[in-house]
Structure formats: structure tokens, C-alpha cells
Amino acid sequence: MEYTSTRDNGMKVSSARAIAQGISKEGGLFVPESLPRLTAADIDSLVPQSYIQRATAILSGFLTDFTAEELEQCVTAAYGSGNFPGDAVAPLAKLNDNTYMLELWHGPTCAFKDMALQLLPHLLTVSAKKEAGDKEIVILVATSGDTGKAALAGFQDVPGTRILVFYPQDGVSKVQKLQMATQEGANVAVQGVYGNFDDAQTGVKQLFTDPTLAARLDEKGLMFSSANSINWGRLVPQIVYYVSAYCDMIASGEIANGEAINVCVPTGNFGNILAAYYAAEMGVPINRLICASNVNKVLTDFIHTGTYDRRRELILTTSPSMDILISSNLERLLYALSGRDDKSVGEMMARLSGDGIYTVDDKVKQILQTRFWGGFCDEKSVMDTIKDVHETYSYLCDTHTAVAIGVHRQYMEQTEDATKTLIASTANPYKFAPSIWTAISGQLSDADEFDQIDMLHAATGMEIPPQILELKQKPVRFTESCAKEDMGKAVEGMLNLWLPAQKPLPVQGKRPE
Ligand SMILES: *Cc1c(COP(=O)(O)O)cnc(C)c1O
């Protein structure tokens, strides 16, 4: 299977090249030329299989230049060996007759980013061997919280890779900061930036495109790559869990093979819901894709009007991973819905980065509104939903997941469509304990975040993930911060770019005693 670019149909690359390179030269995103088909018989044969077997089968349809052995090794390294508890990598929890929570947070960092970032490093190293002359890959990440930790955990001690993460010094929660600062591994480094997430992201983008730095890396046998969700290697692992969840619903007798379901996703960069769309296009019987936003409801407005308008103030909410005005992966959906019209996608993306607004034509708008339904939750409704879901079902959900549950309720009320629905549950509630505790108790607390974790545990009895509990005792390795202008210097320092080529590259930061 070949991959092309959303902005140039003339581009043809292998999956390994698409993953190693991350983004196409002209700025488009890599997409497969066609999707593998899943028939009802194929789904039947996946039903008795483990997550690892299902993942290997589905990925083999997309990554055709990987050998069966390579794929199996990558998938086993990601989802086996104690990374995820037991066989249930992405378990389902049934809330009521038509609502099923697809829990995507049982990985090492307690957020759904693990589902892709545990696999990506392995796909990337195999891809680099095939397509990049076996260079050592340097991953640069700017993070608003969840991605940085998930990427660090995924790349930790993966041979042939190093990872450098920048986070806004005062823009992440205490748990998130500690998760990164205590990261183990000989190939990792973490640095705060004095500034906000945009400053960190802009700095990283500049480093990616700095020709002097690229030449210096090349001399040292290194190359930059990206672990953010524009990389196909991060999207394709997410298709797997929708197929797998459908199989689980058949296996447990909740649905018959062929029965249509809906899927509802708390959405930020549009990666997770796009994976559900691809699963539907492959043949999984998914009717409606319900796109749930917080008050930064660019996508809700887009689905209702066909006009995407980012010209508005970003509002900080209790679901920070969805505080986003430019949903990068929407470009891939526009490409698919427009019948692979690379010219019009390129024009719309140019308008988005120029004027900040574009409108799709009526044909695209009509398909968009048939397949998708958009809604949003304000902060009060997020808090009310967490409390109500806990009281009604004794089920604790995080703030992002609450947005999706709230929007699904609106959907059912407005459409009277009671089709069985998978709701993507994207984070363990203890990652956002202060917000959840306030929702459950109706009180604001200025206690330390770890005390609020204990208070939440006392109030709900839900098990605290050991990865979060042990943060309190773990030695802090990374404490440094830099000005946004000095991020380039920080990278040079962290990689020791100016040392003679033969010396091993030491990693900055104290090793745990
Ligand atoms: C990243 C993230 C999201 C948004 O997912 P996208 O793929 O960017 O749409 C939702 N919830 C949580 C907890 C996340 O970390």
C-alpha cells in the first residue's frame, strides 16, 4: 500500500517513509491511497483473538512494507510485557443499555495517548532502518501535558532513539510536571520553557526547520522526527481499538456482527475521532460519529455550518487536552470527504493559516453532516456530568470523558437515536484529581494535589494507579528551564552536538541515585 499527501496526489511513498518523515514536503499530511476492507467474515475471525493479534492483523493491511515478524515484534513490545494489565488493553465498561465506555487509559501514563505512543517508537525505528539509512532518531516534543509524558514513556530506552521534551514551565499540572521530571531512561531529556504552550510549540517547529541544525545532526548520524499526531504512525494504532471494541461487543453478546453502533469522542486535534472514521470506512458498522468539544467549540460550529473559524480567543478549561483551536487532523477528513481533492484541501489550509477561516462546499458539508454530529459542554455541564455519572452508575470519569458523556446525552435528546454507543474514555480521573474532587464534593480545595488524590480516593474508593502514587517518592531528574529564545541552545546542549563525533552522547539531567 502506498501513501500520498493531502496536498499533492502526485506524492507516493511507502508507509515506512511516511512514518520516518512525519509530514510531507509541501506541508500536507500522509494518507493511505486506499483503505484495507474488513468484511463481516474478517470481523468474525478477529472476535476470538487477543488485542495483540487483532492489532497485528489490522496493521498488516496498512503497513505492507513491514514484514509479519517486524509487525509482531512492534505490537508485542507495545501492548504486551506488563505495559498494559493483562489481555484487556482497551477494556469496555457498560454504563447502561446503550452506553459503553471504551477505556483507553490503562497504559503506563494513564492517558489515551499511550495507545499510540507505546507503539510509535517501534514503528519509527523499523521505518528508519528501511528508509533513513539507520540514523539515530531524535524526537522533539512540545507538550501541553499528556503527550510529553506518554512520548517519554514510549521512547524510554528504545534503541536508536533519543527524546527531548519541552513543556510550558507554569502551564502543566503538578502531577503532569512530576510525571515528566521523574522520567527514567538513558535517552530522555526534559526541559521547561518560560512561556506558554504556543511558545514551546513555535520553538520546536523552528528547530525542526533550522537548516544549520539539520546539517549538524546529519554529520552526527542523527535526524529529527515528530511524535505528534500528524504522524501516520500515531494515527494507525488508534484504528485498532475501534475494531477491537466492536469485536469485544460481539464477544460479550452485546451486539450481533453487522449491527450498527455509534461512536462518541472527546475531541481536540481530531486524531482519535478520525481513527473511528477510518474504522467505519474499512467496514466496521459505525453509523454516527459524535464529535464532543469543550467550550473551545470550533469543531461543533464547523459541523453545524461548514465554516471553520479559528478567529476566537482560546479558553482554558478543566479539559486542557481539548483546549485547541486548530485541529490538525481535520485536514485528513477534508481530503477524504472531498473525494481526495488535493487542490481544494491545499487552498483551505492556506486560508486557515492566512485569514483563519475557510468554508467547505455544499457536497462536503452534506456528507460531513450525515456522518458526524457535533456538540459541546460548558464547564458547569462537565462538573454536573461527573457528579451525576458517579451517583447514577458508581462510575468515575475524568473531565475530558465527561465532555463526551454530556454531548452524547444531548445527542440522544435531540435526535432520539438510542443506538448503542461507544464513548472513548481518554484519561484516568486521578490525572485531573482536583477538578474531579470538586465535581464530586461540590467544594473547591487548595490542598496539595496529592492530598486531593487521597481525598478523591476516600470519597469514591476508586483505585489510585500505582504510577501516580509512586510519583511522590520518585527522584526528580530534570529541573531546568530555559527562555523560549534559548530552546535551540538547549537542544544542542542536550545532544552535545559540538562534541567530537566518536564520543558517546551523555544525557543531561541527574540519574536517580
Ligand atoms: C489528547 C487528548 C484528547 C483529544 O484527542 P485528539 O485525538 O487530539 O482529538 C482527549 N482527551 C485526552 C485526555 C487527551 O489526552
Cβ contacts of 8-17, under 8 Å, gap ≥ 24: 8/342, 8/346, 9/340, 9/342, 14/65, 14/130, 14/131, 15/62, 15/63, 15/64, 15/65, 15/66, 15/127, 15/232, 16/63, 16/65, 16/66, 16/126, 16/127, 16/130, 16/131, 17/127, 17/130, 17/131
370-416 tens-digit pLDDT: 999 999 999 999 999 999 999 999 999 999 999 999 999 999 999 99
Counting residues of the chain whose pLDDT is more than 90, the rounded percentage is: 77
Q: How far apart are CA 381 and CA 423, in angstroms?
A: 17
Which of the two residues, 327 and 275, has the higher pLDDT score?
275
- Check residue 499 and give its pLDDT: 53
- Check residue 167 and give its pLDDT: 93
Of the residues 272, 330, 431, 435, which should be mutated to test ligand 1's pocket, given the most ligand atoms within 8 Å of the CB? Answer: 272
pLDDT band at 498 (very low <50, low <70, confident <90, very high): low
C-alpha 467 to ligand 1 mean position (Å): 20
55-82 tens-digit pLDDT: 999 999 999 999 999 999 999 999 987 8
Does the pLDDT value for residue 503 go beyond 70?
no
- Check residue 494 and give its pLDDT: 82
Which atom of ligand 1 approaches the CA of 268 most closely?
9
Of the residues 106, 143, 321, 423, which should be mutated to test ligand 1's pocket, given the most ligand atoms within 8 Å of the CB? Answer: 321
Mean per-residue pLDDT, 8-22: 95
CB 322 within 8 A of CB 400: yes
C-alpha 319 to ligand 1 mean position (Å): 9
C-alpha 321 to ligand 1 mean position (Å): 5
C-alpha 241 to ligand 1 mean position (Å): 15
196-234 tens-digit pLDDT: 887 888 888 888 888 888 898 989 899 888 888 889 999
Question: What lines the ligand 1 site, CB under 6 Å?
Answer: 111-113, 146, 229, 266-272, 321-322, 400, 426-427
457-489 tens-digit pLDDT: 999 999 999 999 999 999 999 999 999 999 999
Does the pLDDT value for residue 320 go beyond 80?
yes
Residues 123, 125, 127: CA angle, nearest 5 degrees:
65
Mean per-residue pLDDT, 2-26: 94
Of the residues 400, 401, 405, 430, which should be mutated to test ligand 1's pocket, given the most ligand atoms within 8 Å of the CB? Answer: 400
C-alpha 348 to ligand 1 mean position (Å): 24
Mean per-residue pLDDT, 343-358: 96
C-alpha 322 to ligand 1 mean position (Å): 6
- Reported pTM: 0.93
Does the pLDDT value for residue 507 go beyond 70?
no
What value does the mean pLDDT of the chain take?
Answer: 93
C-alpha 271 to ligand 1 mean position (Å): 8
C-alpha 426 to ligand 1 mean position (Å): 7
Give nearest CA residue, ligand 1 atom 14. 321
CB 217 within 8 A of CB 497: yes
C-alpha 323 to ligand 1 mean position (Å): 10
C-alpha 501 to ligand 1 mean position (Å): 39
Of 102, 454, 112, 158, the closest CA to residue 271 belongs to 112
Give nearest CA residue, ligand 1 atom 8. 269
Mean per-residue pLDDT, 123-150: 88
144-155 tens-digit pLDDT: 878 999 999 999
Give nearest CA residue, ligand 1 atom 1. 321
Of 339, 358, 356, the closest CA to residue 348 belongs to 358
- Check residue 268 and give its pLDDT: 92
Q: How far apart are CA 425 and CA 456, in angstroms?
A: 19
Does the pLDDT value for residue 13 go beyond 70?
yes
Mean per-residue pLDDT, 178-195: 94
C-alpha 324 to ligand 1 mean position (Å): 10
Does the pLDDT value for residue 94 go beyond 80?
yes
Of the residues 106, 109, 112, 298, which should be mutated to test ligand 1's pocket, given the most ligand atoms within 8 Å of the CB? Answer: 112
257-311 tens-digit pLDDT: 999 999 999 999 999 999 999 999 999 999 999 999 999 999 999 999 999 999 9
Which atom of ligand 1 approaches the CA of 146 most closely?
15
Which atom of ligand 1 approaches the CA of 324 most closely?
8
Q: Could you tell me the CA-to-CA distances from 266 to 88, 115, 388 in Å, in that order?
A: 22, 15, 18
Which of the two residues, 364 and 509, has the higher pLDDT score?
364
Give nearest CA residue, ligand 1 atom 4. 268
C-alpha 146 to ligand 1 mean position (Å): 9
Of the residues 269, 273, 300, 376, which should be mutated to test ligand 1's pocket, given the most ligand atoms within 8 Å of the CB? Answer: 269
Which atom of ligand 1 approaches the CA of 238 most closely?
7
Does the pLDDT value for residue 49 go beyond 90?
yes
C-alpha 263 to ligand 1 mean position (Å): 15
C-alpha 41 to ligand 1 mean position (Å): 32
- Check residue 512 and give its pLDDT: 41
Q: In what order do the strands lie in the sheet with 372-376?
A: 92-96, 99-103, 421-425, 261-266, 286-293, 372-376
Does the pLDDT value for residue 43 go beyond 60?
yes
- Check residue 138 and give its pLDDT: 92
- Check residue 511 and give its pLDDT: 42
Which atom of ligand 1 approaches the CA of 427 most closely?
13
Which of the two residues, 290 and 495, has the higher pLDDT score?
290
pLDDT band at 19 (very low <50, low <70, confident <90, very high): very high
Which atom of ligand 1 approaches the CA of 431 most closely?
13
Mean per-residue pLDDT, 105-131: 93
Counting residues of the chain whose pLDDT is more than 70, the rounded percentage is: 97
